[in-house]
Structure 1
Amino acid sequence: MDSENQSGVPEFLLLGLSEDPGLQPLLFVLFLSMYLVTVLGNLLIILAISSDSHLHSPMYFFLCNLSSIDICFSTTTVPKMLVNIQRHSKAISYAGCLSQAFFVLLFAGLENFLLAAMAYDRYVAICHPLRYTAIMRPHLCALLILLALSLSTADALLHSLMALRLSFCLDWEIHHFFCELDQLLRLACSDTFLNNLLVYSVTSLLGGVPLLGIIFSYVHIVSSILRVPSAGGRHKAFSTCGSHLSVVSLFYGTGFGVYISSALTDASSKTAAASVMYTVVPPMLNPFIYSLRNQDMKRALGNLMGKTPPFMGRCLLAKTLE
């Protein structure tokens, strides 16, 4: 098959989740609803934390950043899909495709590191409560965020720059609803050994180390909680990290599910559908997990709703807690 270098690629075609024209309106309404819920829910979390001085602590500082990342993560993929459905188009430019792949890697990496930082915060709070304020100082929290941003940016930039060296065949169809790095590598006509090597090695390192940190933190957390003599004390300790553990399970569970799904099947449509579970669903559900399982967040959201016009406040609160 003829090939041409990257400068000659006019555009890629995102085939989306289905090529059935009858399903496009349903997909548009479904993903528009999910995107609006994601943005509204995470904005409410950010506003509630910002407006309540009782929540100005490291735990909620990280949660506020997580909500910001979730909004950006969804915005990277869903709006382009909605625009293409609305315009009855599947096209995305070469530059736009690489940019989308870059930002998907960036925000996925940021969420990965941030969940590890939140686990460390819970570890210090439960295992070293008397030293918590001394350890989790504002400059350390800011440093952790800066480190996560630096590593994630370097990782996304490395893979994106390596993709620039690839030549692509005349088949520019991507069986996905966004430009995923793995899909781009499959379309390349040139040798992708080095790209794949970097993907597996760097992803294993930058994904595995935070995950091991989370596991390490929770092993010590559970061990400390089990030594608490009273049942009430154990329940309170578990409740302080239950929301975070739910978010961690959702993020890594869906991520591993997509990986296993893509390894066991060659059906690109099934892989694309499975990818919804880690790119769209976790950002949408995270606000519900924290607002439903955390009494402080419920109180802050209630106070926030009280500052809005009565009718609007009741609607927003119902949307958040339903």
Structure 2
Amino acid sequence: MGIVVDPEYAQILAKSAGQSGDKITDILAIRDWSNALIDAASKAVPYPEGMQETVHSTTTSDGFLLQITRFLPLSVRQEYEDVEVEHESKESTGSKGKRAVIFVFGGGMISGTVSVSRGFIAAVANNSHTQVFAPDYRIAPEHPYHAGVDDVYATILWLQSHAQELGVDPARIVIMGQSAGGGVAAGVALMARDRGLDPPLAGQCLRYPMLDDRTWYPESDLRNKYWTWSVAANDMGWTYYLGGLKKEDRNEENTPCYAVPARAVDLRGLPPTQIGVGSLDLFKDENLDYAARLVKADVGVEFHLYPGMPHGFDGPHGFTGKPAMRFTNEMWEDEARWIMKL
């Protein structure tokens, strides 16, 4: 048996030949290229009817004014309205808060914003009937580690402190990240555990997360032509995120696990975890390894491997700007079902 390639992905690959951004070397040009693709794909996702967006802010420990966008689905808003009507007819001590998701956008540690991922974030909120809070965390190279991790952790603290007014149960907060955002989310989950966050996170949902700066494969690897996020791009993202630290100079002392979750020695005590990744994703092996280590650490894990799918298969493949591959909805449904159990 050879490499399994989903037929739909094979068709997209054929149509997109020669349109890759691998040859772009300027960091800002790469960011513009990546943001344009993410934005096009995100806008292709039908925006849910009745979704409400509001922008909030908090100040991080180093004085940065962090913007946080709240995505409130119509279904959740109607539940709140039904509770209010019920309370008008009888005495009540107040409604119980509901779960919430903190969504960490992707972009290789060097690109991405809440705005360009808006469609994807709204889909999470709508599919899981859960309000989502998305911080515009700082990215490299202007803001290397640990700015982004601190921003997302500050979002958790802000949400817990404002839980009652936002209708959130502070014990039912799930952190979710996509690609590089999955790596940041996993780092924040480790930080929350070590700092004794109270109440702790209810779960972490990691969509093809970027977890390990040591991942490397030779150019001769047969999967190379199917990767939509290359070894070279991955190393560039990690290098900028780690403040310019080259791969050969990184070690356990100067590369903490909050920056690179796969370097964590002990995974015990982390919240229940859901991970989904395609079999043709550069991150497949590191995701499998992380899931296995979580299982060995007695953490509840749900792992999904989508055969023949590349990195970001719900994103801009074929450079058409359309997240149209058949496993997209399956992955989103798997995530929503898992979130709704918490």
Structure number with greater Rg is 1
Higher strand share: 2
Larger relative CO (CA 8 A, sep 6+): 1 or 2?
1
Q: Normalized against structure 1, the TM-score is what?
A: 0.30
Higher helix share: 1
